[in-house]
Amino acid sequence: MKILVINPGSTSTKIGYFEGERQIFDKVFRHSVEDLASFEKIGDQYNFRKIVIMSFLQEENIDINQTFCNCRYRRSYKRRLCEEFGLVYEGVNLIVVHMGGGISCGLHSKGRVIDANNALDGDDPFTSERSGGLPAGDLVSLCFSQKYTESQILSMIKGKGGFTAYCNTNNMLEIEERAIRDTEVLLVLDAFVIQIAKEIGDLATVADGEIDGIILTGGIANSDYITVEIAQ
């Protein structure tokens, strides 16, 4: 059986191709701010992303009959990870942070997700293109300033916020490279790390500080700098 697994993130599209249980390849298509600028809503990107995927598959001479969506947070993944460390998922407290176009932070307690942020609408840590938590008073003032439409403000919160607003790019690899020589970019990158660490600390209080492990997932988790800084 041929299977194509698709993970459509907010700034990238990841695919994996399997024949039976054997992975043949995986591929990441990164989408710049310019690529996505013409789409008002995420759903509007459907044909754009489909063309990117299908063009690649045609180049590789791969014919797909069935496709499945990749679910990042399946409990089976957490169970397998716990087994590697000799733990039982239903008996531990875990904080899981998915770091992609959005930053999803959830507390898994004894096999149940009991607390999490609203990453879709830019809640809490800012991301490559989402604003994160904002001062409520300033946001209300902006909404009633008559300078922006509702859709414009929503795009500032999700789509044109975060690193896109601060550094004019949503490419985290580029951000890390620029941070080496640009102190202002480094300041933004460190603020990003601190916000994630604070979110982890907030969730830990819900479990009375009794946390058995912290799991970092997503494309940004491949960054040694960010993961090391969070661990510190």
Q: What is the pLDDT of residue 76?
A: 60
Question: Which residues of the chain are in CATH 3.30.420.40 domains?
Answer: 2-69, 75-231
Structure tokens at 173: 């690899």
User: Domain spanning 2-69 has what CATH number?
Assistant: 3.30.420.40
Burial classification of residue 101, based on how many CB atoms lie within 10 Å of its CB (0-12 exposed, 13-18 middle, 19 or more buried): buried
Q: Which CATH class is domain 75-231?
A: alpha beta
Cβ-proximal residues to 193 (8 Å cutoff; 6+ apart), any chain: 226, 229, 230
133: Cβ contacts below 8 Å, ≥ 6 apart: 122, 123, 124, 125
What SS3 state is found at 105?
strand
End-to-end CA distance of the chain: 44
Angstrom CA distances, 98 to 135, 156, 186, 229, stand at 24, 22, 22, 16
- Residue 69 has a pLDDT of 41
Residue range 116-129, pLDDT digits in tens = 887 776 677 999 98
pLDDT of residue 186: 96
Cα–Cα distance, 130 to 15 (Å, whole number): 23
Please give the pLDDT value at position 75. Answer: 58
How high is the pLDDT of residue 140?
95
Compute the distance between CA of residue 169 and CA of residue 40 in angstroms, rounded to an integer: 18
Q: What is the pTM of this model?
A: 0.71
Would you say 11 and 28 are in contact if contact means Cβ atoms under 8 Å apart? Answer: no
Residue ranges for the chain with pLDDT beneath 70: 64-77, 121-122
